[in-house]
């Protein structure tokens, strides 16, 4: 069996998820024993025409990127969203809370109207093309990435958690952040990170996005019990939850 | 079996001696809460704890464990842990829960992974010195225990009484340097601790006898409480995961990079989680929050209860503390159904 051809592309992002792949370090040799990387700007200079698996990092913020993404989709058998920006739009969706002209002027000042600074509302990649799998997280979890690649190489669907971060927090025997009077997004956020932030004594920022059926009305109602307001909750959700599904309820 | 009386200094010397001989897991402070963990010295042991975040079941059924290793030729080897250990400071309600798990894991299908660890364990129980905020063991007849442990420690004033219940416990006592023989007064004081604890460990008061719960649930399937409470449920499974009598697990296979070998692992699961009852073909036979919320109570006080003739709730109160929206309190639910 020939090795599946793997290509990695990046759109609007910090490229930190690709860096997590590079950070596999010695395991990267295992990775390339399994797949044949044919395009990967952050780690190699070669290019080739078609691929079995395309990993897409970053969100879509310019109309021309949509075209590029559609071309990749046509050439890829399996297309995988890599990280928060690609899977949910991530931090980049903060922009969608504001008027685009205002955003451009805030960032670029007088140069805001230069043609190459054209910008559009942020989209997750599944708002442009069909996505087969999503690898969540800001950044992605290396172990989960490695597991998903092995599953794809084997032709098996990976099991991606659709339960809240609370599950992993309990397994780690962490003290609940609500006991520290903090608003933690763990109860509505998809697990898979191993409850990394609460295990490091801070609240969950919700970087992996909501589970499929988040109980956001409960999240809202319990604020009173913890001496907080709905606005406090919305503020906490701004970073990774802006303009997500259910975000404005 | 023998009973010894020992002061704090003797206890410390004894515990350090035990640690020198084998692995000891004991209750220690974790921030402002408590947790069982590997004990490296007696002074870290906190027998005055109120409740641990997770129950000691994690030493018999770890959060995640390897079950077997396999290869593409169809060969496999079971993985079992064989190191003997001492579990030090288990509260009576957790002793009752462990005994119940022993039945679950040894009856129908004998679970070699659980039972190997269980046989390797020596359980040092300890009567509760400080009641936790949500404990209701007194209502569930689990505030004190007479079996299910190898040795029982009870604090009476400045001293501890250590009573061996099994040969394993007796063996531990042989390592005890300079224990005193307790007098009748000491034994009377211990009786008083048991009597007091039965009254003190009732932070929530169940308004019926636990034996009446299966009958109560029999007629409560369509009660409004299920939906009313479930509206605030995050389906996060915290109530399951901290429960000493929840034992459900999920089994997954993961292959190595060679795609020729791999391992099968199991991890804690919970019936409150959305995908818990999802089956092949995409059907989920408890897809609503209300169904899942109700199921936990039926499991605790009817299904398992009728099978084992014991309520599968020991009143530790961990679910009450762990539930962020505060809807998990079994006493509140049962009282509402009465």
User: Same domain, yes or no, for B215 and B150?
Assistant: no
Mean pLDDT over B124-136 rounds to 98
pLDDT, tens only, B96-127: 999 999 999 999 899 999 999 999 999 999 99
Q: Do A173 and B53 touch (CB under 8 A)?
A: yes
Q: Write the residue in B35, B241, B324 that is nearest to A167 by C-beta.
A: B241
Q: Write the residue in A30, A159, A171 that is nearest to B268 by C-beta.
A: A171
- The pLDDT assigned to B69 comes to 97
Q: Do B274 and A33 touch (CB under 8 A)?
A: no
- The pLDDT assigned to B91 comes to 98
B173: closest CA of chain A, how far (Å): 31
Is residue B41 scored above 70 in pLDDT?
A: yes
Q: Which is it for strands B261-268 and B249-255: parallel, antiparallel or unpaired?
A: antiparallel
User: Same domain, yes or no, for B194 and B219?
Assistant: no
User: Same domain, yes or no, for B162 and B241?
Assistant: no
**Is residue B93 situated within a structural domain?**
yes
Domain termination site, one of B200, B234, B257: B200
A29: closest CA of chain B, how far (Å): 10
Give the residue among B48, B61, B34 at the shortest CA–CA distance from B245.
Answer: B61
Domain limits at B55? 3-63+77-200
Name chain A contacts of B234, Cβ cutoff 8 Å: 164, 166, 187-188, 215, 218-219
Q: Do A164 and B231 touch (CB under 8 A)?
A: no
User: Same domain, yes or no, for B241 and B167?
Assistant: no
Q: Do B33 and A170 touch (CB under 8 A)?
A: no
The answer to whether A213 contacts chain B (CB < 8 Å) is yes
Q: Do B236 and A186 touch (CB under 8 A)?
A: yes
Is residue B14 scored above 90 in pLDDT?
A: yes
The tally of domains found in chain B comes to 2
Q: What is the CA radius of gyration of chain B?
A: 21
**What whole-number distance in Å separates Cα of residue A164 and Cα of residue A162?**
7
User: Same domain, yes or no, for B51 and B139?
Assistant: yes
Q: Do A150 and B259 touch (CB under 8 A)?
A: yes
Best residue of B266, B288, B324 to probe chain A, by most A CBs closer than 10 Å:
B324
- The pLDDT assigned to A128 comes to 97
Domain spans, chain A = 5-154, 165-241
pLDDT, tens only, B213-227: 999 999 999 999 999
Q: What is the CA radius of gyration of chain A?
A: 19
Is residue B178 scored above 80 in pLDDT?
A: no
The answer to whether A215 contacts chain B (CB < 8 Å) is yes
- The pLDDT assigned to B282 comes to 87
Q: What is the mean pLDDT of chain B?
A: 96
Cα B238 to Cα A218, B56, B211, B268, distances in angstroms: 15, 16, 26, 11
Block means of pLDDT (10 residues each) for chain A, 249 residues, are 88 95 92 88 69 95 94 94 96 94 92 89 97 97 95 92 97 96 96 96 96 94 94 91 71
So what's the architecture of A5-154 in CATH? 3-Layer(aba) Sandwich (3.40)
**Is residue B259 situated within a structural domain?**
no
User: Same domain, yes or no, for B182 and B283?
Assistant: no
């Amino acid at each position: 069996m020939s090795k599946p051809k793997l290509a990695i592309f990046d759109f609007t992002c910090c490229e930190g998820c690709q860096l997590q792949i590079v950070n596999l370090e010695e395991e990267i040799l295992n990775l390339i024993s399994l797949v044949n990387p044919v395009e990967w700007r952050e780690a190699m200079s070669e290019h080739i025409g078609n691929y079995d698996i395309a990993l897409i990092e970053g969100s879509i913020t310019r109309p021309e990127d949509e075209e590029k993404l559609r071309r990749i989709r046509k050439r890829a058998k399996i297309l995988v969203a890599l990280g928060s920006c690609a899977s949910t739009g991530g931090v980049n969706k903060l922009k969608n809370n504001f008027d685009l002209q205002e955003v451009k002027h805030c960032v670029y000042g007088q140069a805001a109207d230069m043609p190459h600074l054209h910008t559009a509302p942020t989209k997750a990649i599944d708002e442009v093309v069909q996505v087969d799998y999503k690898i969540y997280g800001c950044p992605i979890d290396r172990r989960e990435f490695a597991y998903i690649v092995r599953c794809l190489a084997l032709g098996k669907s990976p099991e991606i958690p659709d339960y809240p971060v609370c599950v992993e927090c309990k397994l780690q025997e962490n003290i609940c952040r609500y006991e520290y009077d903090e608003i933690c997004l763990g109860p509505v956020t998809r697990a898979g990170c191993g409850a990394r932030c609460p295990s490091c004594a801070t609240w969950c920022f919700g970087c992996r996005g909501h589970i499929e059926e988040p109980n956001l009305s409960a999240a809202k109602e319990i604020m009173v019990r913890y001496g907080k307001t709905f606005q406090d909750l919305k503020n906490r959700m701004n970073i990774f939850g802006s303009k997500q599904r259910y975000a404005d309820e | 079996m023998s009973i010894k009386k020992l002061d704090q200094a003797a206890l410390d010397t004894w515990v350090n001696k035990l640690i020198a001989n084998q692995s000891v897991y004991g209750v220690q402070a974790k921030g402002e809460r408590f947790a069982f963990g590997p004990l490296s010295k007696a002074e870290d042991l906190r027998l005055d704890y109120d409740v641990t975040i997770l129950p000691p079941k994690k030493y018999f059924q770890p959060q995640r464990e390897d079950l077997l290793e396999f290869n593409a030729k169809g060969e496999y080897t079971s993985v079992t842990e064989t190191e003997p250990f001492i579990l030090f400071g288990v509260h009576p309600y957790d002793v009752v829960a462990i005994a119940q798990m022993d039945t679950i894991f040894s009856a129908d299908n004998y679970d070699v992974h659980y039972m190997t660890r269980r046989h390797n364990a020596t359980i040092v129980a300890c009567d509760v010195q400080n009641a936790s905020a949500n404990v209701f063991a007194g209502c569930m007849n689990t505030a004190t225990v007479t079996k299910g442990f190898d040795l029982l420690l009870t604090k009476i004033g400045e001293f501890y009484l250590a009573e061996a219940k099994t040969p394993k416990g007796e063996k531990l006592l042989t390592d005890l340097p300079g224990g005193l023989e307790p007098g009748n007064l000491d034994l009377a004081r211990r009786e008083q601790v048991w009597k007091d604890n039965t009254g003190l460990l009732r932070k929530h008061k169940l308004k019926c006898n636990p034996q009446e719960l299966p009958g109560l649930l029999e007629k409560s399937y369509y009660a409004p409480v299920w939906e009313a409470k479930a509206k605030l449920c995050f389906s996060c499974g915290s109530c399951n995961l901290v429960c000493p009598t929840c034992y459900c697990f999920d089994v997954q296979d993961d292959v190595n990079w060679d795609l020729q070998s791999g391992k099968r692992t199991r991890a804690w699961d919970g019936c409150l989680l959305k995908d818990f009852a999802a089956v092949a073909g995409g059907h989920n036979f408890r897809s609503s929050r209300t169904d899942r919320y109700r199921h936990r109570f039926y499991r605790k006080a009817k299904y398992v209860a009728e099978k084992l003739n014991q309520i599968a709730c020991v009143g530790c109160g961990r679910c009450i503390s762990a539930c962020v929206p505060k809807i998990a309190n079994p006493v509140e639910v049962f009282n509402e159904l009465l």
